[in-house]
């Protein structure tokens, strides 16, 4: 039974992907619901394929471990550290730069530097992807170029306890956030894409319907729309 159903689905997909005059002519006699089900299943399949490719490219287990190790470095910063942001200006109570390292397969990599006395171009000397100076946030883009961001025009005080608490809260909520993201990508996102695609195909079918209806009064709009559900496979 399952093999027979899979065979029908595969046959529908192949004939939809490669224009088949006999197949598309047969659609005129079939219910629109069958094409809706096919199109919905096709969207779910594409979405699942996208999710698998995205997961492989992001390499979440390895990247999560790197992020975890980086955040754990917050435990090593001085207990007395206080970071103040006032009117888009950063200052600390430390008299030397603060360096954060990442253990990448046994190799220490500099990942961020807080140096309020540095200029933006010093990020090239540090070789760090992130540099916090007294006036801006510097982000490395490539070997020679970098981008800068301004601090918020607010009064903010950050202590080590706040950083550690934020880290612990992030670790606790991370599994929930990942689960919510996976649920959205696999369950909610396909329905959103499905509905948007239906609207797009419905609008696209209108001019096509009027053109063919002018030549043949027998053609109906719902059949043009039904054919578009399969023709969109390619």
Helix (H) or strand (E) holding 83: strand 82-86
Q: Rounded CA gap, 85 and 97, in Å?
A: 16
At 47-73, the pLDDT tens digits run 999 989 988 887 777 777 777 777 777
At 110-133, the pLDDT tens digits run 888 999 888 888 888 888 889 999
pLDDT of residue 145: 82
Q: Rounded CA gap, 73 and 113, in Å?
A: 12
pLDDT of residue 2: 45
pLDDT of residue 9: 64
Q: Rounded CA gap, 119 and 66, in Å?
A: 28
CB atoms within 10 A of CB 5: 9
pLDDT of residue 202: 92
Residues above pLDDT 70, as percent of the chain: 92
**Is this prediction's pTM over 0.75?**
no
**Which residues contact residue 114 at a Cβ distance below 8 angstroms, ignoring those fewer than 6 apart?**
83, 92, 97, 98, 131, 132
Q: Out of 18-22, 46-50, 78-82, which region has the weakest mean confidence (pLDDT)?
A: 18-22
SS3 90: strand
pLDDT of residue 104: 66
CB atoms within 10 A of CB 228: 20
Residue 6 predicted with pLDDT over 70: no
At 142-199, the pLDDT tens digits run 767 888 899 988 888 988 888 888 888 888 888 888 889 889 988 899 999 999 999 9
123 touches 140 (CB < 8 A):
yes
**Mean pLDDT for all residues in the chain:** 84
pLDDT of residue 64: 73
Average confidence (pLDDT) over 77-95: 87
CA dihedral 15, 18, 22, 27 (to 10 degrees): 60
Residue tagged 């942001």 (tokens): 85
């Amino acid at each position: 039974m399952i093999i027979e159903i899979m065979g029908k689905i595969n046959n529908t997909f192949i004939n939809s992907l490669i224009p088949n005059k006999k197949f598309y002519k047969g659609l005129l006699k079939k219910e629109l619901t069958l094409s809706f089900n096919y199109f919905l299943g096709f969207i779910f399949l594409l979405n699942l394929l996208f999710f698998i490719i995205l997961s492989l490219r992001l390499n979440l287990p390895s990247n999560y471990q790197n992020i975890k190790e980086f955040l754990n470095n917050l435990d090593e910063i001085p207990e007395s550290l206080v970071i103040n942001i006032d009117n888009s200006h950063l200052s600390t109570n430390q008299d030397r730069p603060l360096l954060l390292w990442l253990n990448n397969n046994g190799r220490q990599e500099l990942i961020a530097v807080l140096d309020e006395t540095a200029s933006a171009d010093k990020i090239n000397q540090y070789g760090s992807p992130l540099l916090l100076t007294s006036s801006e946030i510097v982000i490395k883009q490539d070997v020679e170029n970098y981008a800068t961001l301004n601090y918020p025009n607010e009064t903010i005080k950050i202590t080590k306890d706040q950083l550690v608490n934020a880290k612990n809260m992030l670790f606790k909520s991370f599994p929930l956030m990942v689960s919510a993201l996976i649920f959205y990508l696999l369950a909610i996102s396909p329905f959103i894409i499905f509905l948007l695609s239906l609207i797009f195909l419905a609008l696209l079918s209108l001019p096509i319907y009027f053109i063919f209806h002018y030549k043949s009064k027998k053609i109906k709009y719902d059949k043009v729309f039904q054919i578009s559900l399969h023709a969109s496979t390619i």
